[in-house]
């Protein structure tokens, strides 16, 4: 859109919704994989090390990604609302 300045409010609202949906998907995947790991028949030091890494690094990284998406989605929603208010003023 050459020469366009401003915001497509509906597109930004849709982006916000998508970000929140994808954050939820990541949380569901994290939960499913954690359940699968906890339910796996696996005993020994390799399992303990793997589970420790999963519970530490992996879960934390996935949690951070989903929270970052939620934060970005919230910011996009706020920007769209502010633009809508300014356009209606």
- Domain residue spans in the chain? 11-34+45-88
The dihedral formed by the CA atoms of 24, 14, 76 and 86, expressed in degrees to the nearest 10: -150
Question: What's the rounded Cα separation, in Å, for the pair 27 and 36?
Answer: 14
pLDDT range class, residue 1, cuts 50, 70, 90: low
Q: In the structure encoding, which two tokens stand for residue 4, read together?
A: 């366009």
What digits encode the pLDDT tens for the residues 14-46? 999 999 999 999 999 999 999 999 999 999 999
The alpha carbons of the chain give a radius of gyration, in whole angstroms, of: 20
pTM for the structure as a whole: 0.86
How far is it, in rounded angstroms, from Cα 44 to Cα 14?
A: 47
């Amino acid at each position: 859109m050459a020469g366009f300045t401003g915001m497509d409010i509906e597109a930004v609202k849709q982006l916000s919704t998508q970000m929140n949906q994808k954050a939820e998907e990541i949380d569901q995947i994290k939960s499913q994989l954690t359940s699968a790991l906890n339910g796996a028949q696996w005993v020994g030091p390799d399992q303990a090390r793997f589970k420790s890494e999963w519970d530490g690094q992996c879960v934390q990284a996935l949690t951070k990604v989903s929270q970052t998406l939620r934060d970005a989605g919230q910011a996009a929603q706020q920007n769209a609302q502010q633009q809508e208010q300014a356009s209606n003023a």
